[in-house]
Amino acid sequence: MGVIEKYAHLLPVTEKTPRITLGEGSTPLVHVDNISKLLGIELWAKLEGCNPSGSFKDRGMVMAVAKALEDGAKALVCASTGNTSASAAAYAAAAGVPCYVLLPAGKVALGKLAQALMYGATVVAVKGNFDRALEMARSAAESKGFAIVNSVNPYRLWGQRSGAWEICEALGRVPDWHAIPVGNAGNISAYWAGYKQYKEIGRIDRLQRMMGFQAAGAAPLVTGKPCPNPETVATAIRIGNPVSAHLAKEAVAQSSGEFNSVTDEEILAAQKLLSSKGGLFAEPASCAPLAGLIKLKNEGRLPAGITVTMILTGNGLKDPDTAMSQVGRPIEIGDNIDELLEVMRG
């Protein structure tokens, strides 16, 4: 059952809203044993890379596209650092509507680009950063009367609330900390709204601290001012002027949370640790929270024994180039057993 059908009672859907789905949502929440021990906490990972297009975007995209269809939209438009475009293109393909995606030229991970092209979207590479591409997408959507499916579309954030609801259902309570990467700042805002909604309807009895993590080279919410030239290896969160900054600030303030930044080196080290000790392969942006938890632990600011959920927002397979830049190459041998046994001698 997809997000719309499963949570129709909590979402702004009507009987006219098409119950489209590609099987999004209901992703696993996994206890990360080895890294929990290392950090002295109970660490849970929400595997959003298990969504149909490989990232959390599908939860909100299914709502945005369903509502666009309900309203008779002729086409979809978005700007993206990659995952939104993959998700929009997938749902547009299934719904049979054209989709235009604007990407910052040369700054999108290979897997995401392949997805958008394979799903059949019209892919436009803009010589500018994501923030500029989003301005252009909004303006084009308005002049053409097409539906914009970035997180400025309120239905996106509605659908993304479902991640919070699933965490409460899986844990049977809220975590102490909710650790999440922050780019355009929609997801942290959606989770906060989702948790608050669950508290209002009595499904949980308290709220947790919202801990947002940004890349040091694209950290407007940490520095408190827009970043004109964002730069980070975590291209998904290479964003200098988040459209949902106001909502994210509210989430952090209301929950006594924090924004923190981590360097690219810390992000890559966390990605390797998560893969090699946790068996979980997430894309670089998704590893900013783990990098941040490690940093807070080193600074003596990670309380022992707390329960933390971290959102692994995108699948590691999305960005094979960054992964390959960190690891060695396979050991090449001839097709004979002696060479193989030699390798296995250690």
In angstroms, what is the minimal distance from the CB of 312 to ligand F0G?
9
What is the distance, to the nearest Å, from the Cα of residue 87 to the centroid of all Cα atoms in its chain? 11
Among 83, 115, 255, 307, binds ligand F0G (CB under 6 A): 83
Asked if 157 touches ligand F0G (CB under 6 A), the answer is: no
CA pair distance 81, 55, nearest whole angstrom: 12
Stretch that binds ligand F0G, among 26-34, 76-84, 198-206, 273-281 (CB under 6 A): 76-84
What x/- string results for residues 213 through 232 when contact with ligand F0G is judged by CB under 6 A? --------------------
In angstroms, what is the minimal distance from the CB of 340 to ligand F0G?
38
Asked if 184 touches ligand F0G (CB under 6 A), the answer is: yes
In angstroms, what is the minimal distance from the CB of 344 to ligand F0G?
37
Which uninterrupted H or E stretch holds 88?
helix 83-95
Asked if 193 touches ligand F0G (CB under 6 A), the answer is: no
* Greatest CA separation for the chain: 68
Among 111, 186, 194, 289, binds ligand F0G (CB under 6 A): 186
CA pair distance 109, 204, nearest whole angstrom: 38
Q: Which two tokens stand for residue 57?
A: 């975007």
Asked if 80 touches ligand F0G (CB under 6 A), the answer is: yes
Asked if 162 touches ligand F0G (CB under 6 A), the answer is: no
Asked if 194 touches ligand F0G (CB under 6 A), the answer is: no
Among 181, 240, 257, 278, binds ligand F0G (CB under 6 A): 181
Question: How are strands ordered across the β-sheet holding 42-47?
Answer: 29-31, 42-47, 307-312, 177-181, 209-215, 258-262
Closer of 196 and 203 to ligand F0G (Cβ): 196
Nearest residue to ligand F0G by CB is 314
Closer of 153 and 313 to ligand F0G (Cβ): 313
Asked if 261 touches ligand F0G (CB under 6 A), the answer is: no
Buried residues in 20-54 as b, exposed as e (16+ CB within 10 A): bbbebbebebbebeebbebbebbbbbbbbbbbbbb
Q: Which two tokens stand for residue 178?
A: 């909710």
The answer to whether 318 and 286 are in contact (CB under 8 A) is no
Asked if 113 touches ligand F0G (CB under 6 A), the answer is: no
Angle at 142 between CA 192 and CA 237, to 5 degrees: 40
CA pair distance 211, 289, nearest whole angstrom: 8
In angstroms, what is the minimal distance from the CB of 130 to ligand F0G?
7
H and E: helices and strands count for the chain:
15, 10
Asked if 313 touches ligand F0G (CB under 6 A), the answer is: yes
CA distances from 304 to 62, 235, 290 (A): 38, 32, 15
Number of residues this chain uses to bind ligand F0G (CB under 6 A): 22
Give which of 298, 296, 270, 297 is closest to 284, Cα–Cα: 270
Asked if 129 touches ligand F0G (CB under 6 A), the answer is: no
What x/- string results for residues 40 through 59 when contact with ligand F0G is judged by CB under 6 A? ---------------x-x--
Asked if 182 touches ligand F0G (CB under 6 A), the answer is: yes
Asked if 271 touches ligand F0G (CB under 6 A), the answer is: no
Among 236, 251, 252, 273, binds ligand F0G (CB under 6 A): 236
In angstroms, what is the minimal distance from the CB of 311 to ligand F0G?
8
CA pair distance 274, 279, nearest whole angstrom: 6
Q: Which residues contact ligand F0G by CB under 6 A?
A: 55, 57, 80-84, 151, 181-187, 236-237, 283, 285-286, 313-314
